[in-house]
Amino acid sequence: MTRKLRMGMVGGGIGSFIGDVHRKASSIDGMIELVCGTFSSTTVKSISFGKGLLLSTERCYANFEEMILKEKELHKDIRMDFVAIVTPNHMHFSPAKMALENGFNVICDKPITLTLDEALALKDIIKISGKSFALTHNYTGNSMVKQAKVMIQNGDLGRIRKVQVHYLQGWLATSIEGTGQKQAAWRVDPKRSGIGGALGDIGTHAENLTEYITGLKIDEVAADLGVFGKGRTLDDDGNILLRFDNGAKGTLSISQIAVGEENNLAIRVFGEKGSLEWCQENPNKLVTKWLDEPVKTYTPNGNGLYSEALEVSRIPAGHPEGYLEAFATIYKNFSNHLLALENGQRPNTPDFPTVDDGIRGMQFIYAAVESNNNNSTWTKLV
């Protein structure tokens, strides 16, 4: 490592959950330093919050426009290298666009944008800008997810036939958005979330994990979405049939009204020769099953792993790796990518989610909503 990368943050002030996650995750590997940010809607609040993070007052900005313009004027050894966007969905596109167009790299929370059109537009903007863009589908940063991906890629499981994936939460089981809970309030609001509720918030994670692990594309979906919370208009639950581009089939079920579930993202993949299962809440196990052999369970840094999985782990086997570490892996890989470019290296295919993953997520949301509007008719992801 030749230097620390400098991060500017958009969003993530008081009441934000994911802003703090980004800050902690980006700090674990000692590669990134938070140097500036716009955390709130007013200069005063933004400064107040930034001081708590030990930022200098002059680098706590009133809004992202100010941040981008002022940082641009700073010396290249001082100004931020990239912007981390951790706002609600409707505030992803504009700061991303402006940052890219002003020469800053961007790392952005998911789903990528409010609309599919924005996502497609962003792809062009990124290309023209020549800058880098990462999307924090953080679960792909888990060691056991890498192992799963490589096993399938290498054909260990044979041709994939069936996938079951679900992402179940219970925190919106009651209409807490009416109680002033900020996290709930924007998620149930189409103006801030987009056309998908749970679909966008957690469905895109499930979709992304599925395509990442299997290497397949979801070809079409048949969706039955539910709106169970009183007064809501966006889905807070959904059951979706999947058909993949190789002929495999599956189910994808999501819920934010699944009482008692915390963050239950789990996937099972069945091939012709073997199968695997992984659950985010118990991320340090990858269970694999076989035609003729006993069940084999892999663990991070444990026996029998592919190098891609081993590389992810920071600590020896048996020392549990959690949510933040997986999240940090996205930041680490993004940082290594930026440093490689800076050093004139030609990096490999980036090992972090990109704008293409973001577009897939939006296509998934749009196809599911359209299918649901047509009484679960099969609908292509386009």
Sequence-distant (6+) residues with CB within 8 A of 150 are: 306, 308, 309
Q: Pick between residue 73 and residue 292 the one whose CB is nearest to its own copies.
A: 292
* Closer residue to its own copies, CB minimum distance, 3 or 191: 3
For the segment 321-380, give every residue that binds its own copies (CB under 8 A): 321-325, 375-376, 378
| Among the listed residues 89, 140, 208, 284, the single contact to its own copies using CB under 8 A | 284
Of 82-111, binders to its own copies (CB under 8 A) are none
Pair 201, 169: CB distance under 8 Å: no
Q: Which region, judged by CB under 8 A, interacts with its own copies, from 21-29, 35-43, 82-90, 207-215?
A: 21-29
How far is residue 186 from each of residues 5, 198, 256, 327, 353, measured CA to CA in Å?
31, 12, 14, 23, 24
Candidate residues 14, 15, 20, 215; the one interacting with its own copies per rule CB under 8 A:
20
H or E segment to which residue 269 belongs: strand 264-271
Beta carbon nearer to its own copies, 185 or 378:
378
**34 lies in the binding site for its own copies (CB under 8 A):** yes
Closest separation in Å from C-beta 187 to its own copies:
13
CB of 13 to its own copies, least distance (A): 15
- Edge-to-edge strand list for the sheet holding 274-279: 286-290, 274-279, 264-271, 160-168, 249-255, 237-244, 218-226, 379-380
Q: Residue 41 or residue 57: which is nearer to its own copies going by CB?
A: 57
Nearest distance from residue 247's CB to its own copies, in Å?
9
Instruction: Select the residue interacting with its own copies from 196, 283, 358, 361 (CB under 8 A).
Output: 283
Separation of first and last alpha carbons in the chain: 40
Here the contacts of 171-177 (C-beta below 8 Å, separation 24 or greater) are: 171/256, 172/198, 172/229, 172/236, 172/256, 172/257, 173/229, 173/256, 173/257, 173/258, 173/259, 174/229, 175/229, 175/230, 175/231, 175/232, 177/229, 177/232
- Among positive and negative, which fits the CA dihedral 32, 38, 39, 44? positive
Q: Does 231 bind its own copies (CB under 8 A)?
A: no
162 counts as binding its own copies under rule CB under 8 A: yes
Q: CB 352 → its own copies: shortest distance, Å?
A: 19
Decide whether 231 or 316 has the Cβ nearer to its own copies: 316
Six token digits for residue 18: 């994911």
* Partners of 160 in beta bridges: 271
Measured between alpha carbons, how far is 136 from 328 in angstroms, rounded to an integer?
Answer: 10
Q: Under a CB-based contact definition with an 8 Å cutoff, are residues 78 and 157 in contact? A: no
Q: Are strands 249-255 and 264-271 parallel, antiparallel or unpaired?
A: unpaired
Q: Which is nearer to its own copies, 129 or 136 (CB)?
A: 136
Residue 255 CA to residue 227 CA, distance in Å, equals: 10
CB of 102 to its own copies, least distance (A): 27
Residues 115, 32: Cα–Cα separation, whole Å: 30
Segment near its own copies (CB under 8 A), from 93-101, 157-165, 205-213, 355-363? Answer: 157-165
Number of residues that bind its own copies (CB under 8 A): 90
Binders in 236-275 for its own copies, by CB under 8 A: 237, 239, 241-243, 249-251, 253, 255, 257-264, 268, 270-275
Report 188-227 residues binding its own copies (CB under 8 A): 222, 224, 226
User: Binding string, 287-316, against its own copies, x = CB under 8 A?
Assistant: -xxxxxxxxxxxx--xxx---------xxx
Min dist CB 248 to its own copies, Å, is: 9
